[in-house]
Structure 1
């Protein structure tokens, strides 16, 4: 796995793939179960939940940098992948 981060709308399939690969996420939910999935991503410490409403490019870049640089997200994602 070469991915360092997955930017996702937090759909079930993408979230499952990222968790299986041990990759942290930046979740930008749009509708349906994506909001619950994004909240769970953040609750589990495997990424951040970013609201799309009012989102700017600067905020998105900031959240991506934060998720890439916070070792705890990587450790949590790798830990869940090992359990899966």
Structure 2
């Protein structure tokens, strides 16, 4: 999100190539706001044509630049700047003191609850048990199949 924030803050159109995490969402938002284009990483493997086309589109189509500059102006003209918001809430806390509504619930959780260990540990345990059962069944089936192939046919005695 940092590069998207920087580019929109400066009013620069983007070419997004999402690789992991939130980058796919960021690329979708860039396309939705019409401030840039998205190229899939698979397209880059196939050749450079998609990237060259995207660069030409961004350079030749002024709508991306106009939309990026408009979004930048909107960000800069935000009704309340982050510094003002920090000052407002600091003054609020100084005036009214401690308030339960401003206290984060997660601060009072114990370690097991905070890290969801009460869910993760049983899930890992079940996965290990399931893995053991599958291995056990595969061994039994493999043993049975191998015993069928390795068994010697009984000869008829006359």
TM-score scaled to structure 2, two decimals? 0.45
After superposition, the C-alpha distances for 1:12-35 in whole angstroms (9 at most, x for unaligned) are 110000000000000000011000
Counterparts of 1:25 and 1:68, CA distance in 2: 11
Q: Is residue 73 of structure 1 aligned with residue 64 of structure 2?
A: yes
Provide the residue aligned with 2:2 in structure 1. Answer: 13
Counterparts of 2:43 and 2:69, CA distance in 1: 31
- Point out where structure 2 has 5 or more consecutive residues left out of the alignment: 76-158
4+ runs of 1 displaced by more than 3 Å?
none
Largest Rg, 1 or 2: 2
* SS state at 2:59 partner: helix
Report the more deviating stretch, 51-60 or 37-46.
51-60
1:54 Cα offset (Å): 3.2
After superposition, the C-alpha distances for 1:19-68 in whole angstroms (9 at most, x for unaligned) are 00000000000011000000110000000011111322121111111111
Greater share of residues in helix: 2
Greater share of residues in strand: 1
- Point out where structure 1 has 5 or more consecutive residues left out of the alignment: 1-11
Aligned pairs for 1:40-51 within 5 A = 40-51=29-40
Counterparts of 2:4 and 2:65, CA distance in 1: 14
- Larger relative contact order (CA 8 Å, sep ≥ 6): 1
TM-score scaled to structure 1, two decimals? 0.83
